[in-house]
């Protein structure tokens, strides 16, 4: 179950990073 939690956490971080990159590009 720890593996699933780690995968879920990594997925959330990855999505946040992509959203941040998109927002940064839009701002610029």
- Rounded CA-CA distance 27/23 in Å is 6
State the DSSP string of 1-28.
-HHHHHHHHHHHHHHHHHHHHHHHHHH-
- Rounded CA-CA distance 2/16 in Å is 21
* Tokens linked to 10: 């990594």
pLDDT of residue 23: 84
pLDDT of residue 9: 87
The residue written with tokens 């959203």 in the block is 19
For residue range 1-28, list pLDDT tens digits in order. Answer: 566 677 788 899 999 999 998 888 776 6
pLDDT of residue 19: 92
pLDDT of residue 8: 82
């Amino acid at each position: 179950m720890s593996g699933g939690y780690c995968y879920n956490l990594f997925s959330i971080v990855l999505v946040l990073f992509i959203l941040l990159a998109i927002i940064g590009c839009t701002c610029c």
